[in-house]
Amino acid sequence: MREVDYRFYRVRNGVPVDELYAKGAPSIRFQSAASVMRSLSGVFKHTDKANWFIDRIRAEMTLDGVTSPLGVFAVSSLSEDYGSGESADNIEAMDYGLLVKQVSTEGILHLSAGTGYIDQIKTMLRECGLNAIYSDADTSSLQTDREDWEEGTSYLTIVNTLLSEINFNPLWFDAEGGARLTKYQAPSVRNIKNVFKSGDDSIIADSCTIVQDIYQPYNVFKVIVSNADLTQPMTAVSVNSDPRSPISTAQLKRRIMAPIVKLDNIASQEALQAHADKLRDNSQIASEAITFTTANVAGHGYLDTIALSHERLDGIYQETDWTMQLSYSGKMTHKAKRILYI
């Protein structure tokens, strides 16, 4: 039998200062398509000690004696309810993407040609008060001087734009509160993170929902970069010709072009081609979306590749969203998309 417990701590300057006591079952949600991806919602016993402008909430799960972090959150909304002689705090909180979203440009941001993309992004994150920043290696630098953003543009918008120009994923935060700058990696059997199987001692429920989308079987993708600072426009085309894919040119016997994507900037021709290839890869993930339920498990993050062996579901999927109800009998709801080209 699983032995599970959840704890919440008020953290100041990275140090837990006291424990928060939940009333009912808080929930944690991760949405990969959201600008701020990880969020916490719950009701907690009121505390007069907190300064939620600077204090944070750390959530942990202990399963069979092993403790795992579930996220570090900045409070975004707070209301106090009083009744029967006691107060309770209704709290909505988000990961540190909220801190990056709250900071914006003062004046016009000038970026010089030759500036390293990752160096500039790290500088901006530190200006938001973040120090735990983990980045995949990349030496790309800006091709031209840049003054692309109006005054008052959120740092999160700028950071994610710069990340997209070097074929990185959007900024996301791990369960420890660390900022993650990660290269896009096409999901495959080589990077499976979690496996769920039906059978004895299984934690996956037998019910599930499957939605098919066969309306837009694009198999040709074109991306163009054009601005006055470039000597000539840059173009990249990616074609899904894989005979294993049901929507490929080989299977459909025709080319179906997706709407042309136009970008303002890109780090290099190689990055532009990678962007087109990413559009091609993503087109083969979107046709079958599923929802399934398991017992709560820690360790899930951004667009994890998962394998399922289930009465109705069998294959490799990319997890797009998940929600955990943090109670002893709480369940974890997963949303994922089948990878059709594997």
Q: Which residues of 96-121 are buried (b: 16+ CB within 10 A; e: fewer)?
A: bbbbbbebbbeeebebeeebebbebb
Q: What pLDDT is attached to residue 286?
A: 62
Those residues whose C-beta lies under 8 Å from the C-beta of residue 15, and which sit 6 or more positions away, are: none
Q: What pLDDT is attached to residue 322?
A: 97
Residues 56, 73 contacting (CB under 8 angstroms)? yes
> 75, 63, 85, 84: which is closest to 26 by C-alpha?
75
Q: What pLDDT is attached to residue 328?
A: 86
Q: What pLDDT is attached to residue 186?
A: 84
Q: What pLDDT is attached to residue 315?
A: 84
> 109, 104, 171, 161: which is closest to 134 by C-alpha?
171
Read off the pLDDT of residues 213-256 as tens digits, 9 standing for 90 and up: 666 789 999 999 988 777 788 999 999 998 988 889 999 999 99
Q: What pLDDT is attached to residue 229?
A: 75
Q: What pLDDT is attached to residue 341?
A: 60
Q: What pLDDT is attached to residue 91?
A: 97
**Residue position matching structure tokens 């979203």:** 101
Q: What pLDDT is attached to residue 278?
A: 93
* Residues constituting the chain: 342
Rounded Cα distance, 287 and 284, in Å = 7
Rounded Cα distance, 131 and 126, in Å = 6
Q: What pLDDT is attached to residue 254?
A: 94
Q: What pLDDT is attached to residue 199?
A: 65
Q: Is 215 exposed, middle or buried (0-12, 13-18, 19+ CB in 10 A)?
A: exposed
Q: What is the pTM of this model?
A: 0.87
| Sites in the chain below the pLDDT cut of 50 | 342
